Amino acid sequence: MKKYEVEKIRNVGIFGHGSDGKTSLADTILFDTGMNNRIGRVDDGSSILDFEPEEINRQISISAALAYYEWDKHRVVLIDTPGDANFIFDAKACMRVVEGGIIVIGANAGVKVQTEAVWTEASTLQLPRIIFISKMDAERARFAETLDDIRERLSSPQPLPLQIPIGKEKDFQGVIDLLSNKAYIYEGDATGKYREEAIPQELVGEAQQRRVKTIETLVEMDDALMEKYLEGAEISLVDLQQCLKKGTIEGRFAPVVCGSSIKNIGIHPLLNVINACLPSPAEVAPRKGKNPRTGEEEKREAKEDAPFSAYVFKTIADPFAGRLTLFRVFSGGISADTTLYNSTKDAKERVGQIFMLLGKKQEPVGFAGPGDIVAVAKLKETTTGDTLCNEKNPIVFEGASPPPAMISFAIRPKAKGDDEKIATSLPKLMEEDPTITISRDLQTKEIILSCMGQVHVDVVLEKLKRKFGVEVDLDVPKVPYKETIKKSVKEVVYRHKKQTGGRGQFAEVHFDISPLERGKGFEFQNALTGMNVPRNFVPAVEKGIAEAITSGVLAGYPVVDVKVRFYDGKSHEVDSSEMAFKIASIMGFKKGIREANPIFLEPIMKIEIVAPEDHVGDVIGDLNGRRGRILGVEAKGHSQIVRANVPMAEVLRYAPDLTSMTGGKGSFTLEYSHYEEVPANISERMIAGAQKEKEEE
């Protein structure tokens, strides 16, 4: 592919809520720029960018996909990102490797939840952006109302309309460019063909009114132009475009255009706005990182003669082709068959062929320079979030941290012997999706799969089956309850005596058992004074108690926060043995625990919920019904943060409930806090359930 200078490169992410038309827009752009001979469609599975089977079946983007095109001597790399809440982290991670974004908002629905989420992230990263109001041909499509919604719901930069639509809903046929004062009328047959015409008479007044407001906003970017404008002079289109770019890059406003991807209306003006408004890699501040050897901050400019540096923002795992690593070159350049330094892992990597991606197609390129987004295959050590650089000039770039998981399941293989397959395949999926978490509960012995939501879980299971041939069953994770005691018991005596002919078994142990402070675990004290018990049997006693605490007397849960004082006992010179004392200590411990008022303990989680103000009452009421204890409520913009402690057992399936309560606008994080006593009524049910299980076994 022809190599352009850095100033002619644009790296652009397409962001927004799911189903607002991001992928359809990207597919239409690729058709209009000659990268595809037809417009790919999400609904018939022909999209260039939604090519994974899981995406085709669900008709949603699950993973970010790349493509590129040329337009008016500019080379643009597009990253089409997911808009579903289950996969939105991928979109946020991609923001770190682009210089500009297109925020897609449906004219028939307005600003949605994930639109706000990606807008906030873009503002945090100071990412220049364009707003594309999509689906102008759809039923109930409203341009002005959507614009008002944007102004109200999205914080700065404020929207700056560059167009107004001609017609609406099924009669939408074109746009009026406010800066050039021209109307573009489209054929409406999805070819993208249009003709320039005078502004329709019925829209002249509105167009003039909006044009004045837009020009007044633009000339504020230049004092000399402002003075010229106030004196009544005409401002040239070139001057207006310079102000437009300056204001967009500085985050003063976000240009707004509109169109229909399905009818291919309004796409070519968007392409011009991308080139004109969004910055090249050379027009943004140098990328900051840290020297891994000194810890000092370093910068990398988008120059070919600067030391090479690149950030790995995505990994694609394929059981046949191997690992595909996607990275953005921030400075310097590399050719194929080069050795690079992974400064994150302190490892060297051999780079073979370099590719640019067009959906799932890989196009070989001989060189990758500053601003390029490329892929290489079969790197051994490198994963998402790593930095590749010149070993003599090392730097590490900070990546995005994945959010905590929202939903967890215990998984087990359907086929016997597939445990090893699970152990090798899940880490590969985690390489391409850092929001997947795998853990093993040491108490329950379960493998726990944690994801961002139910759809995410379903997709992971489908990929496990399709890519690695592994099928699993899901269960609600077992709550890791524990048992403890509430009172001390003195002088617990247990004698183990067994005579079956020949040498018998004999051991007697004397214990004091007492509760410890919550969280102290277990303590064994050897307090023997006389010679009733030979000291060589003490380890057997301690070993027996260590075994006994793994299964309590109420329902078999581990026993914690207990102290055992071994102060006396009896032995027989022939029949006593380590095994006899171990058995005596196990039985003596259980006897003492039964007398010490045993209780259940349950894990308490600290939950932090972000919800719209008008849903906070429902959220708090629901938490109270889950035995939650509210710790505080704090305002955050148009939302409220509710903090509470709530039993783990009550929030194992909280994600879908919160979604239902808040219309998908709520989110939450969970972390372990402490253990507390289980209420008596629930304890009774747990004991009855354990007894029933025992009888069934």
Specify the CATH number for the domain of residue 529.
Answer: 3.30.230.10
Of 286, 217, 288, 279, nearest to 249 (Cα)? 279
pLDDT-derived band at 85, boundaries 50, 70, 90? confident
CATH number (domain holding residue 335): 2.40.30.10
**Whether residue 572 is found in the same domain as residue 429:** no
Sign of the torsion angle spanned by Cα atoms 428, 429, 434, 435: negative
Range of the domain at 158: 7-198+248-283
- The more confident residue out of 113 and 100 is 100
Q: Would you say 129 and 156 are in contact if contact means Cβ atoms under 8 Å apart?
A: no
Residue 524 lies in a domain: yes
**Whether residue 55 is found in the same domain as residue 121:** yes
Q: DSSP of 413-429, one letter per residue?
A: ESSTTTHHHHHHHHHHH
What tokens does 644 get? 């509470």
For the chain, the average pLDDT equals 93
Letter for the amino acid at 132? Answer: F
State the pLDDT at residue 4: 47
What tokens does 442 get? 């040491």
**Whether residue 418 is found in the same domain as residue 438:** yes
**Whether residue 44 is found in the same domain as residue 121:** yes
Q: How long a stretch of residues is the chain? A: 697
Q: Residue 263 pLDDT more than 90?
A: yes
pLDDT-derived band at 693, boundaries 50, 70, 90? confident
Residue 82 lies in a domain: yes
CATH number (domain holding residue 673): 3.30.70.240
State the pLDDT at residue 321: 66
**Whether residue 130 is found in the same domain as residue 22:** yes
Give the domain-ending residue among 417, 448, 475: 475
Of 11-15, 328-332, 453-457, 507-511, the one with minimum mean pLDDT is 453-457
Of 281-290, 506-515, 586-595, 669-678, the one with minimum mean pLDDT is 669-678
State the pLDDT at residue 617: 94
pLDDT tens digit string along 507-560?
Answer: 999 999 999 999 899 999 999 988 899 999 999 999 999 999 999 999 999 999
Residue 572 lies in a domain: yes
Residue 398 lies in a domain: no
Give the domain-ending residue among 455, 475, 495: 475
pLDDT tens digit string along 361-386?
Answer: 999 998 999 999 999 998 999 999 99
CA 582, CA 538: separation in Å to the nearest integer?
A: 9
**Residue for token pair 């051991």:** 507
CA 262, CA 267: separation in Å to the nearest integer?
A: 10
Of 332-336, 503-507, 617-621, the one with minimum mean pLDDT is 503-507
Alpha carbon distances (Å) from 397 to 98, 118, 431, 672: 14, 21, 18, 30
CATH number (domain holding residue 163): 3.40.50.300
Q: Would you say 66 and 357 are in contact if contact means Cβ atoms under 8 Å apart?
A: yes
State the DSSP H helix or E strand holding residue 433, giving kind and residue range, or none if neither: none
What tokens does 69 get? 């095109």
**Whether residue 300 is found in the same domain as residue 379:** yes
Residue 216 lies in a domain: no
State the pLDDT at residue 337: 92
**Three-class HEC string of 625-681:** HCCCEEEEEEEECCEEEEEEEEEHHHCCCHHHHHHHHHCCCCEEEEEEEEEEECCHH
Alpha carbon distances (Å) from 407 to 145, 419, 449, 650: 36, 22, 8, 13
Residue 237 lies in a domain: no
**Whether residue 574 is found in the same domain as residue 666:** no
Q: Are strands 598-612 and 505-515 parallel, antiparallel or unpaired?
A: unpaired
pTM for the model: 0.84
- 446-460: average pLDDT: 91
Give the domain-ending residue among 457, 475, 493: 475
**Whether residue 545 is found in the same domain as residue 583:** yes
User: Which residues in 52-81 are b (16+ Cβ under 10 Å) and which e?
Assistant: bebbbebbbbbbbbbbbbebeebbbbbbbb
State the pLDDT at residue 184: 97
CA 509, CA 587: separation in Å to the nearest integer?
A: 10
Which residues sit opposite 197 in a β-bridge? Answer: 183
Of 310, 320, 326, nearest to 432 (Cα)? 326
**Whether residue 589 is found in the same domain as residue 655:** no
pLDDT tens digit string along 639-690?
Answer: 899 999 999 999 988 988 998 898 877 888 888 899 999 999 999 999 998 8
pLDDT tens digit string along 295-317?
Answer: 999 999 999 999 999 999 999 98
Q: How many domains does the chain have?
A: 5
Q: Residue 691 pLDDT more than 90?
A: no
**Whether residue 322 is found in the same domain as residue 423:** no
Q: Residue 570 pLDDT more than 90?
A: yes
Of 78-82, 213-217, 425-429, 539-543, the one with minimum mean pLDDT is 425-429
**Whether residue 175 is found in the same domain as residue 276:** yes
End-to-end CA distance of the chain: 68
**Whether residue 52 is found in the same domain as residue 160:** yes
Peptide bond into 157 cis (omega under 30): yes
Q: Would you say 63 and 432 are in contact if contact means Cβ atoms under 8 Å apart?
A: yes
Residue 225 lies in a domain: no
State the pLDDT at residue 647: 96
* E-only strand ranges, 453-529: 472-475, 482-485, 489-498, 505-515, 522-526
State the pLDDT at residue 1: 41
CA 680, CA 617: separation in Å to the nearest integer?
A: 29
Q: Three-class SS of residue 35?
A: coil
Residue 1 lies in a domain: no
